[in-house]
Amino acid sequence: EAVSAVAKAIRRGRVGLKDPKRPTGSFIFLGPTGVGKTELCKALAEAVFGDEDAMIRIDMSEYMEKHNTSKLIGSPPGYVGYDEGGQLTEKVRRKPYSVILFDEIEKAHPDVFNLLLQILEDGRLTDSHGRVVNFKNTIIVMTSNLGAHDLFNRKRLGFSTGDNDGVTDQEEIKSTVMSQLKKTFRPEFLNRIDEIIVFHQLDREQIKKIATGMFNTVAERIRGLGIELVADASAIELIADEGFDPVYGARPLRRVIQSKLEDAISERMLEGSIKAGSTVRVYAEGKDLKFETVGGGSAGKAENVRDDAAENRQ
């Protein structure tokens, strides 16, 4: 749903149906932590601008105080930092084709929203040096965790309706989050946003797909060292189970990959039990990953590995 909504808005901009003065697209991503809001921004930067690094990230917790607001466009003449330019305007001036991520927008001082209104309406800002910085080729994304705490508490207290009522659950989540959003932000600000997108909690299958993707990323890196890494389905199951947290979403997955996979492989490489030319089978035994060196072989990816145990049960 999130990807589809973003894609539609970007297509409108690309074919010339948007206001030519305004940014290519503007979005608010809502939802709990660890559900992929920032990852979608990175994917958007790579898909639209050809580079994941074409993303400018602004942490709005640094702009909670009124006196910090001016740092976005640069300090006034005579003040410290005047020569450095604005922390937002200077980055956009140097990289005009980019995704601009305003992270945790609800933490920003109200004065920040006056600048955002100007960007969203006119597609430009004037910095402290008097230079007009153009935002019409940028994609504006604002993320927020508004309402996430209430939703998590509701689930802990047993208000979740279960798998059979997934659609009803999602509608209720969206309604709760949107209500919180309207209480927090001014109508004139929300009216200038192209799409407001609510991210839902990740389910088990989505977590397994993320675990598979992260495993494959490690496999690609280690392939450059002449070592093939092959995962059994049991290994992906373990990584997914250990790496999911109802509060932090998929964020712990990276730590699990690092501690159970990368650390273990690096130790074995230093010992010499895994070396160039090896094919290493990774499987789960209890709560641990096990590694079996099986000699030469073809490249293995987690998504292509058969679940032999499941086949035997059939």
Contact 69, 109 (CB under 8 A): yes
Q: Percentage of the chain with pLDDT > 90?
A: 44
- What sign does the CA torsion over 71, 77, 81, 87 have? positive
pLDDT over 90 (residue 58): yes
Average pLDDT of the residues in 75-91 = 80
Residue 230 has pLDDT above 70, yes or no: yes
Residue range(s) of every CATH 1.10.8.60 domain in the chain = 204-313
* CATH class for the domain made up of 2-198: alpha beta
Is 60 exceeded by the pLDDT of residue 55?
yes
Q: Which residue has the higher pLDDT, 149 or 50?
A: 50
Q: Where are the alpha helices (DSSP H) in 15-52?
A: 37-49
pLDDT at 150: 60
Q: What length is written for the chain?
A: 314
Confidence at residue 180, expressed as pLDDT on a 0 to 100 scale: 84
> If you average pLDDT over residues 286-298, what whole number do you get?
76
pTM comes to 0.75
Calculate mean pLDDT across residues 44-62: 92
On the question of pLDDT at 302 being above 50, the answer is no
Q: 215, 236 in Cβ contact below 8 A?
A: yes
CATH architecture of 204-313: Orthogonal Bundle (1.10)
Query: Which pLDDT does position 309 carry in this prediction?
Result: 36
Q: In the predicted model, what is the mean pLDDT of the chain?
A: 82
What is the predicted pLDDT for the residue at 158? Answer: 40
**What would the pLDDT profile of 198-210 be if each residue is shown by its tens digit?**
887 788 888 899 9
Show the tokens assigned to 254. Answer: 């990276």
Reference 126, options 134, 114, 116; nearest CA is: 134
Among the residue ranges 153-167, 227-241, 251-265, 272-286, the one predicted with the least confidence is: 153-167
Q: At what angle do helices 166-184 and 148-156 cross, to 10 degrees?
A: 140
Cα gap 277→77, rounded to integer Å: 62
Least trusted range by pLDDT, from 93-102, 140-149, 231-240: 140-149
Residue 36: predicted pLDDT: 86
Q: What is the pLDDT of residue 157?
A: 39
Q: What is the mean pLDDT of residues 45-52?
A: 90
Range(s) within the chain of domains with CATH label 3.40.50.300: 2-198
- State phi, psi for 36 to the nearest 5 degrees: 110, 15
Higher pLDDT: 70 or 14? It is 70
For residue 108, give the 3-state DSSP assignment.
coil
Confidence of residue 306 (pLDDT cuts 50, 70, 90): very low
Phi and psi angles of residue 256, each rounded to the nearest 5 degrees, phi first? -65, -45
What single-letter DSSP state applies at residue 111? H
The whole-angstrom separation of Cα 308 and Cα 117 is 56
Per-residue model confidence (pLDDT) at position 160: 42
CA gap 19, 22 in Å, rounded: 6
Beta carbons of 133 and 89 less than 8 angstroms apart? yes
State the DSSP string of 162-211: -GGGHHHHHHHHHHHHHHHHHHHS-HHHHTT-SEEEEPPPP-HHHHHHHH
CA Rg, the chain, in Å? 23
- Count of CB atoms within 10 A of residue 222's CB? 20
- How does residue 148 score in pLDDT terms, banded at 50, 70 and 90? low
Q: Angle 2-14/37-49 helices, nearest 10 degrees?
A: 30
| Pairing assessment for the beta strands 279-285 and 228-231 based on DSSP bridges | parallel
